[in-house]
Amino acid sequence: MELYFLGTGAGMPARHRNVTSIVLNLLPERGSIWFFDCGEGTQHQILRSPVKLSKSEKLFVTHLHGDHIFGLPGLLSSRSYQGGDTPFTIYGPKGIKAYVDMSLQLSQVHLDYELAIREIPSEGGVVFEDESFRVEAAPLDHRIECFGYRIVEKDLPGKLQQEKLHELGITAGPLYGRLKQGQTVKLEDGRELHGSDFVGPSIKGRTVTILGDTKPCGNSALLAEGADVLVHEATFGAEREDLAGAYDHSTTEQAARTAAEGGVGTLIMTHISSRYQGEGAERLLEEARAIHPDSWLAEDFYSHAVPRRQS
């Protein structure tokens, strides 16, 4: 599991930062990648990255401001040309379906894959769940309806303790699979083996929280609680807290407090105003690390592997 940042700027493209798009690389876990937002120029950023558009499976939209969705029609079209023929699902606020449908209709784009669009109710909730992952959405505090997402990897089964089975004279075979599933099996000699006796403790899943644009709010804290990685906007430095509040954005210190108070592992700040470059960007990082030491400032093409935290 790895986060990859295609765009980390705020508002409009800049020379050193494109607008928002984040990839969650789940190739090892499920053979696919998920997008979070798709600002203008995202497909151009992909060309300069290791991201394989044909491997994309889902796209989660936080809100309908242009710097988060203007790259979407082009990305959907390019996916067909780059070999993407598997189903693709978009999740987002009310209005995302009308935007996508109208864009594809007017440009007469033909997609070679099944496209599904799921609009999220205003109160949020669980938007996706299967045997491996659950994705929850909750509304944030921004000028228009905006969501944050909490991606939860479900716990993995513990490892089969093969050495204990070897000591009992039991060699590898179909029996191992049944025991790993926790089943009770009866041997030909009458002995019963309980799977729970031969499987180690479960492996805790990881949690990644990705927030859309927001000023500090209760749902930011709820989505972030205990996350291994929190991706939080930090449009402004601490000196512009008033401006951040006026435009429903956050500062570095506010993002760091959300991380620290929520017991987050790593904070990654993004959606950075173009006014912060060089020493200005370094100062943003210093402000956050003064509150939450494990903080990082994302740049375009920055990647971060999501480790399993020790329990």
Say if strands 147-153 and 133-139 run parallel, antiparallel, or are unpaired.
antiparallel
141 is in an annotated binding site: no
Tokens 């499987």 -> residue? 199
166 is in an annotated binding site: no
Q: What are the φ/ψ torsions at residue 176 (nearest 5 degrees)?
A: -60, -45
Catalytic residue among 37, 67, 228, 300: 67
Q: Is 166 helix (H, G, I), strand (E, B) or coil?
A: helix
68 is in an annotated binding site: yes
Q: Catalytic: 155?
A: no
44 is in an annotated binding site: no
CA angle 287, 221, 141 (to 5 degrees): 90
Instruction: Give residue 122's identity as a one-letter amino acid code.
Output: S
CA distance 191 to 261: 52
63 is in an annotated binding site: yes
294 is in an annotated binding site: no
Say if strands 147-153 and 32-36 run parallel, antiparallel, or are unpaired.
unpaired
67 is in an annotated binding site: yes
Instruction: Give residue 167's identity as a one-letter amino acid code.
Output: E
- Asked if residue 35 lies in contact with residue 46, where contact means CB atoms within 8 angstroms, the answer is no
Question: 3-state SS string over 239-250?
Answer: HHHHHHHHCCCC
CA distance 141 to 175: 53
Q: How many other C-beta atoms lie within 10 A of the C-beta of residue 282?
A: 12
What are the binding residues? 63, 65, 67-68, 142, 213, 271
State the catalytic residues: 67
Could you list the residues known to form a binding site for Zn(2+), using ranges. 63, 65, 67-68, 142, 213, 271
